Structure 1
Amino acid sequence: MIPRRIVPNLVAGLASAFLLGACGSSTAAAPAAPAAPASSAPAPPATSAASTPATGSGPVSGSPDTVTSVTARTLNGVGIVVTDDRGLALYRYDKDQPSPSKWTCSGACTKTWIPVIVQDSVQTSGVEKSLLGTVHRNGRTQLTLAGWPLYRYVGDTAAGQVNGQGKDGEWYAVTPAGKKSAG
């Protein structure tokens, strides 16, 4: 009879923990978490936004803001840049910090510059997988490239567009090496 009580209590406890974990501030960085590297490289020091490598090999389905793959593509006007699984250009923000990875775009900024969220693994094509990582962002996991947190621009509505290139002199399509596109 006791085992019958344990299972419902365990389920209720796990559901409560999940709901409490999903609650969080949309403007403050997540607390530091230990890095979980997938390679033999040493883990970066923990900060208010800890960085961990993005690893795995299978595609992940999820919400429209999540990615399952990144690909290096030549786009008119900017050269070779990184795109997501829908062909949308990915951007980096000069005010972010690459080492250790730290995002600064928050609040209203994320309405225009949408953080690239991953749930599990990321496939790559033309992008060195060892340069991919993640940064914790308000209970979610944002993809990084060479330490730079990645974003989509709300003004890019079709594959191949790079309407965010050079915006405010701080936003640039990102190259497969994590550099700013010169285009």
Structure 2
Amino acid sequence: MIPRRIGPSLALGLASALLLGACGSSNGTDTGNAAPAAPVTSATADPVTSAPAVGGSSASGRTATTAVVTTRTAQGLGSIVTDDKGLTLYRYDKDEANPSKWTCSGACTKTWLPVIVPESVQTSGVDKSLLGTVHRNGRTQLTLAGWPLYRYVGDTAAGQTNGQGKDGEWHAVTPTGQKSTVTG
């Protein structure tokens, strides 16, 4: 019976140590960790449980502990942000950046999957100081320049931007958090 308690206790202790280490200093200097936004929630119920975390899952089925956010050039859109699998990340015009607030909920999250992240985020081509998080029904959604990030279910392969301009409100996000526009 006691050996069964060791695993969860170790996991809880490790998670606590990682969270404390991610807090950084209290003197306001940047320690290189993602700058989390103030926790913001929406009153609307949101079934986010099916949305995968950036970084995917390990062979054991557990969520990876590090997410990867990178940039790539998309034909006609310029530089955009993607996850570690090359899937385009989007922002929603109805969300708010300051303070970070998500509005896509319910049926919306079946088409636009919130980017749920684990403990840490690695970046390539994205200024880590622009990354943050917003709390979403007990989970942590990644933000860029305050904008909550999503994946589009219609993007099934790396490099696709099928969600660009959907309903005039969904846009691939640039490395600075701006919405991408067609560059011609």
Q: Which moved more, 1:66-75 or 1:137-146?
A: 66-75
2:181 maps to 182
1:48 maps to 41
Unaligned runs of 5+ in 1: 19-35, 50-58
Q: CA deviation at 1:77?
A: 1.8
Identity over aligned pairs, percent = 66
Q: 1:120 to 1:113 in 2, by over 3 A?
A: same
Q: 1:65 to 1:81 in 2, by over 3 A?
A: farther
Contact 1:70 1:122 (8 Å CA) reproduced: yes
2:98 maps to 99
Q: CA deviation at 1:100?
A: 0.7
Contact 2:55 2:84 (8 Å CA) reproduced: no
1:78 maps to 77
C-alpha distance after superposition, 1:125-166 (max 9, x if no partner): 110000000000011100000000000000000000000000
Contact 2:73 2:79 (8 Å CA) reproduced: yes
Equivalent residue letter for 2:77: V
- Paired residues in the alignment total 147
Q: 1:38 to 1:94 in 2, by over 3 A?
A: farther
- SS state of the match for residue 120, structure 2? coil
- SS state of the match for residue 114, structure 1? strand
Cα distance in structure 2, aligned partners of 1:161 and 1:65: 24
Compare CA radii of gyration and give the structure with the larger one: 1
Cα distance in structure 2, aligned partners of 1:180 and 1:78: 10
Unaligned runs of 5+ in 2: 13-21, 30-34, 43-53
Q: 1:148 to 1:87 in 2, by over 3 A?
A: same
Cα distance in structure 2, aligned partners of 1:130 and 1:60: 19
Q: 1:110 to 1:74 in 2, by over 3 A?
A: same
2:113 maps to 114
Cα distance in structure 2, aligned partners of 1:64 and 1:112: 23
The answer on 1:146 being equivalent to 2:145 is yes
Q: CA deviation at 1:48?
A: 3.2
Q: CA RMSD in A?
A: 3.1
Q: 1:64 to 1:148 in 2, by over 3 A?
A: farther
